Amino acid sequence: MWDISLEMAPFLLLGFIFSGIISVFIDDSLVYKQIGQKKFSSILKSTLMGIPLPLCSCGVIPVAATLKDYGASKGATTSFLVSTPQTGFDSIFLTYGMLGPIFAVFRPLAAFISGLFCGLVVNAVDDDEHKHSDINRQSKQNNGPIIDRISSGIVYGFVTLPKDIVVPLFQGLLIAACIGFFIPPDFIASYVSSNRLLEYCVMLVVSLPLYVCATASIPIAVVLFSKGISAGAIFVFLMAGPATNASSVAIIGNIMGKKILYIYLVLIASSAVFFGIVFDAFFAINENVLYQHNHLHHHENIFYVILTVLFGLIMANAYLSKRIENISSKGTTNAFNSYQNDSLDLVVGGMTCSHCKESVESSIKSINEDVETSIDIATGKVVVLGSDLDVVAIKEKITSRGFTVE
């Protein structure tokens, strides 16, 4: 696990920096204004917007649901759902660091093409009349003092984002370490490498229901490659794994409808296999390039050791902050419950990260700006405190963002 961390720390830290910059300088209103029409330009823009954003397959859902809520076509929403979780600035830099430049270039390229293709297909088969929303959205404007914006970017890049990925990233490292330690070098390859199509299918079956973000999938991919899995099969895992999981599939069906869900799954699976085949055809010429890059260790370089320690401290802080937030949230919830004013207790399913929490909170406050909320991501418990609470409207608004409400 230490060896993998040495390889990934510098590039992941660089990804954190660029993710922080994006969070500051991309205005929310830009996203909502640009993809509201049922035409090719909306699909193109939503695909391009999604590629650099560091959102996982669950975190992207409330954002996509909000896009649809504010007028985005199903095609544009699908493009965003497909392209966003496959990549992000953090995962692109890490892909380059651990898998080499070919993977680093091919991965966002595949995300772009698959997002564009899926959006076009959905728009072609979607016979619902598209109506652009006239809701006057109060979006976050990134036009405050430059010092405040820089501070906000640093907090997002080195606190908020690490909190969102610390658990799945650790799980990915643990899985990679277990595969590397317990499975003999040629064990996997001896059973499936003789049949490339079987390799692709195995990776597809494993990756589709698995919850693994674009960043956490990389150390697993590195170890699978060292065990003899073809580069194309690894690419199937890198593409399909972050794009879907069992929870997100159910929620997408709720937001987009069963018809679009089935199309979405078929397109993700077929696109992953297609790009796996293309990658193997291309990669056969350049196999030594990745092998050499993948084995360039920096164990004796004190600079990499320092960066790895810094990365470890950031992730430890992220985990502790996440735990403290959960404890604090439970305390706030208890305090809310003892308050004698109007209060509403809900259990919201589908929350996995800070983006989910923000989406639920904004949903509630879009109904009544004066309420106070306490949201515990771990348990899904949401307490709303205020007067004249419209329970039905609040539940409907939260559900429209792709969550379940009890």
Do residues 222 and 352 share a domain? no
Name the domain boundary from 280, 297, 314.
297
92 and 149 housed in the same domain: yes
394 and 384 in contact (C-beta within 8 Å)? yes
**Residue 345 belongs to a domain:** yes
> Do 261 and 366 belong to one domain?
no
The structure tokens 């307490």 sit at 383
The answer to whether position 316 is within a domain reads no
393 and 281 in a common domain? no
**What kind and span of H or E run contains 287?**
helix 287-294
401 in a structural domain: yes
Are both 130 and 184 inside the same structural domain?
yes
Instruction: Give the end of a domain, one of 279, 297, 315.
Output: 297
Domain check: are 130 and 26 in the same one?
yes
Q: What is the CATH number of the domain that holds 401?
A: 3.30.70.100
Whether 318 maps to a domain, the answer reads no
Report the alpha-carbon distance of residue 253 to residue 249 in Å, rounded: 6
Token reading at 364: 């509630």
Domain boundary among 297, 319, 354: 297
313 lies in a domain? no
Structure-token pair, residue 326: 């959960």
If asked whether residues 228 and 357 sit together in one domain, one would say no
Same-domain check for residues 228 and 292: yes
- Kindly state whether residue 323 falls inside one of the protein's structural domains: no
User: How many folded domains does the chain comprise?
Assistant: 2
Whether the CB-CB separation of 1 and 174 falls below 8 Å is answered with yes
40 located within any domain: yes
- How many of the other CB atoms lie within 10 Å of CB of 261? 17
> Is 174 within a domain?
yes
One domain for residues 240 and 353: no
Q: Which residues are bridge partners to 346 per DSSP?
A: 382
Please give the residue range of the domain that contains residue 397: 329-405
Question: Which SS3 state, helix, strand or coil, does residue 36 take?
Answer: coil
Are residues 112 and 228 both part of a single domain? yes
Q: What DSSP line would sit under 113-182, residue for residue? A: HHHHHHHHHHHHH--SPP--------PPP--S-HHHHHHHHHHIIIIIHHHHHHHHHHHHHHHHHHHHHH
Contact criterion met (CB below 8 Å) for 230 and 196: yes
Q: Model pTM?
A: 0.70
The pLDDT tens digits along the chain (406 residues) read 666 677 677 777 877 887 777 667 665 556 566 666 667 888 898 898 888 877 776 667 767 776 776 667 788 888 988 898 888 888 888 888 888 888 889 999 999 999 999 999 988 887 655 444 444 444 445 556 778 878 888 888 888 878 877 877 787 777 767 766 676 656 666 666 667 888 888 888 888 877 777 888 888 888 888 777 888 999 999 999 888 876 677 767 777 778 888 888 999 999 999 999 998 887 664 445 554 544 444 445 687 788 888 988 998 988 888 778 766 665 555 555 555 457 788 988 877 777 778 778 888 888 888 888 888 887 888 888 887 788 888 888 888 777 888 8
Query: With the C-alpha atoms ordered 157, 158, 159, 161, is the resulting torsion angle positive or negative?
Result: positive
d(CA 38, CA 74): 8
Closest C-alpha to 9, from 85, 88, 98, 86: 98
Shared-domain flag, residues 126 and 211: yes
